Structure 1
Amino acid sequence: MTTTPRTIDVATLRSRLDQDAPRILDVRTPAEFETAHIPGSYNVPLDLLKEHRRELARHIDEDVVLVCRSGARAGQAEQALGEIGLPGLRVLEGGIVSWQQAQAPVNRGRQTWDLERQVRLVAGSIVAASIAGSTVKPRLKWLGGAIGTGLTFAAISNTCAMGTALSKMPWNRPTTDVDVDAVIRALTSDD
């Protein structure tokens, strides 16, 4: 059963950061995090969070805000942590996109394209090439159909195989990998 995540808006989070500072877990890829992130946030990519959620949950309390690009991956993280009994989690409405649109402070690093933008580029290029190529090789039209079907499934299931594959490409790899032990050390050093 999928539930609607509890959310927090940018203005509320900004005022909370000035007061009691909830933990902010950014579940985007390390490369996305390196591009721009909320100061003081911890990068715990969604796949790492899902794999080590029980271990991570022992080191975080329920005053946690989950962040991703737009809110979808943070919602998945909220569901994964909620399934093991960590209540009270919040998802930043609109994710880092809303945060930046509000001109809230961000730490910036090496700039890369958002994963969603990369997916649009690759999917669009494949569809365009398959349509153009289908005049020479009619069977290429099926490649465009397969990509369309994959994108439809991605929307329905709120997952993206192409995004997962692209996240593993060298240009999306950070200068250093995210290690669960390092994240736990960082979380416990702030206690």
Structure 2
Amino acid sequence: MTAPTIDSHDLHQMLDSATPPRVLDVRTPGEFETAHIAGAYNVPLDLLQEHRDEIIKHLDEDVVLVCRSGQRAAQAEETLRTAGLTNVHILDGGINAWETNGFAVNRGATRWDLERQVRLVAGSLVLTAVLGSIAAPKLKWLAAGIGGGLTFAAVSNTCAMGMALSKLPYNRGASCDAQTIVSQLVGPGPTDQKAK
């Protein structure tokens, strides 16, 4: 089953309607802080997957999932649909498409997005292993392992390295726990104002 996507223009109109959808941004808190759609709730993918049953109890309106480009939102959508939630959509092209189409975002401290961090770590490990293999030939297997992991990540549309990096303090905020997220979903919601 293909997930229903929604484009940036339609989401913008829906957000201005009398019954706006609940926007869940499944990126890391660090990425969310850099730029996010006003009024969006930050529910990192790993926490959503781990606490999905608790979270879906508070999602009775339409839900639009947002990430950088759509990959993590697709994983979140599958998690929510598996749990029985049917009113879920994915922002086509993610926050990248939202900004490209000229829609405003709330900005904070700039941090590298998770995909860029994965490229840095994987590339550094491969380069180090290849150069190190001159002195210690068995290091070439580290480079092969990273290459195999990246291939598996592409085929399975998952990324173990990305999930591990998302747990680093750089990518986490002080309020990145399931209890805080659920209390936001139940309470008045995000404190930021609508970007114009």
Q: Calculate the TM-score normalised by the size of structure 2.
A: 0.89
Cα deviations by residue, 1:63-112 (Å, 9 ceiling, x for unpaired)? 01001111111111111111121102100011111112122111111211
AA in 1 matched with 2:179 = D
Q: Residue 155 of structure 1 corresponds to which residue in structure 2?
A: 154
What is the alpha-carbon distance in structure 2 between the residues aligned to residue 90 and residue 13 of structure 1?
10
Compared with structure 1, are the counterparts of its residues 188 and 171 closer, same or farther at alpha carbon in structure 2 (3 Å cutoff)? closer
Question: Would you say 1:170 and 2:169 are equivalent positions?
Answer: yes
Aligned to 1:61, the other structure's residue is in SS state coil
The one of 173, 178, 181 equivalent to 2:179 is 181
Contact 1:130–1:140 (Cα < 8 Å) also in 2 = yes
2:41 aligned with 1:50:
no
C-alpha contact 2:46 2:163 (8 A) present in aligned 1:
no
Contact 1:65–1:92 (CA<8 Å) still a contact in 2?
Answer: yes
| 2:96 is the counterpart of 1:104 | no
Q: CA deviation at 1:179?
A: 2.9
| Partner Cα distance (1:50, 1:170) in 2 | 20
Please report how far the alpha carbon of residue 184 of structure 1 lies from its aligned counterpart in structure 2 after TM superposition. 2.6
Give the Å deviation of 1:140: 1.6
What is the correspondence of 1:54-133 to structure 2 with a 5 Å cutoff?
54-133=53-132
SS at match of 1:91: strand
Change (3 A) 1:31 1:158: same
* Partners of 1:62 and 1:89 within 8 A in 2: no
Structure 1: distance between partners of 2:160 and 2:111: 20
Q: Number of residues paired by the alignment?
A: 188
The two structures have a TM-score, normalised by structure 1, of 0.92
**What stretches of structure 1 move > 4 A for 4+ residues in a row?**
none
Unmatched runs of 5 consecutive residues or more in structure 2? 190-196
- The CA RMSD over aligned residues, in Å, is 1.6
